[in-house]
Amino acid sequence: MNFIELYKELKRIEGVNERFVMESIFGEKLERLLTKNKIDKRKVKKFYRILNLLKKGEKPEYIFKKTTFLDEEFYIEKGVLIPREETAEIVNYLKELKNKNFSPERILDFGTGTGILAIWAKRIFPDSQVVAVDCLKRACKCTLINSKNKKLKIKIITAKNFKIFKKKFDLIITNPPYLSEEEFIKFGPFKGESKKALVGGKKGYETFLKWLKEGFEVLKPKGFFISEISSFWSKKILRKFEKYLIYEKKDFYGKKRMWVFIRF
């Protein structure tokens, strides 16, 4: 038995990031492991226990309670959305805003999940007050752990809507659940991820439209509302909000991925 054989076993399972699993179990870089001969027997036992879970469709992120976003590690628990790389588009746009001297006093990340966007917002705008909201207690717990690990001060609230806010925001960022019921079945199964984090209604855009409307009510004049979107959406769904749309950004696959609105 050597590391290459173990690695090959993982490669046979579809959709599994072999590097992530190998490095998480053996605690060393894959390149180094593949050139080693000696393996700790206890770790081989652990490997096969995890291999069985992976074969049953368990997500490695939930097994190891960690995930990555922009090459950085974040704590995660089952049920909380595993960050997707497309969400980096929002981070890139926040950096652009910063370069244009935008300096928000208050920022809201609605539907924060693991807290990735709130954490990046606080890094980019360190003088802002950042509020992170999620309806799932477990997501709020992950955000708390992640913000503490990264030594960033973020206000975390478990809530279901925007009505709880008395003070308005200069910037709202969100990656709402945006799959339709049909897409949820077609692109699934999303084992371990909560349906609440993925499905935005029968057509997919109902939650987004609700958050856009409610979000505008707590947005200051000249404030920005930035949302990740489904590439299948057309501007027509926006109706009276289309006049506030100032920018549509594509992701690295060339698919529509983000809308930016300004309140005037």
Ligand X SMILES: C[S@@+](CC[C@H](N)C(=O)[O-])C[C@H]1O[C@@H](n2cnc3c(N)ncnc32)[C@H](O)[C@@H]1O
List residues near ligand X by CB under 6 A: 81, 83, 87, 111-114, 116-117, 133-136, 139, 160, 175-177, 196-197
Q: What length does the chain have?
A: 264
The least CB distance from residue 118 to ligand X, in Å, is 8
The CA dihedral of 52, 56, 60, 65, to the nearest 10 degrees, is: -90
The least CB distance from residue 228 to ligand X, in Å, is 7
Cβ distance to ligand X smaller for residue 60 or 177: 177
The least CB distance from residue 79 to ligand X, in Å, is 8
Task: Report how far residue 206's alpha carbon sits from residue 198's, in angstroms, rounded to the nearest whole number.
Answer: 12
The least CB distance from residue 15 to ligand X, in Å, is 18
In terms of Cα–Cα distance, which of 196, 190, 91 is closest to 138? 196
Query: Which DSSP string do the residues of 182-224 spell out, in sequence order?
Result: HHHHHH---TTB-GGGTB-SSSS-HHHHHHHHHHHHTEEEEEE
Cβ distance to ligand X smaller for residue 9 or 77: 77
Cβ distance to ligand X smaller for residue 10 or 139: 139
The least CB distance from residue 21 to ligand X, in Å, is 21
- In the structure encoding, which two tokens stand for residue 158, read together? 């478990």
3-state helix, strand, coil in the chain (%, to 5): 45, 20, 35
Cβ distance to ligand X smaller for residue 9 or 214: 214
Cβ distance to ligand X smaller for residue 6 or 218: 218
Residues 226, 93: contact at Cβ < 8 Å?
yes
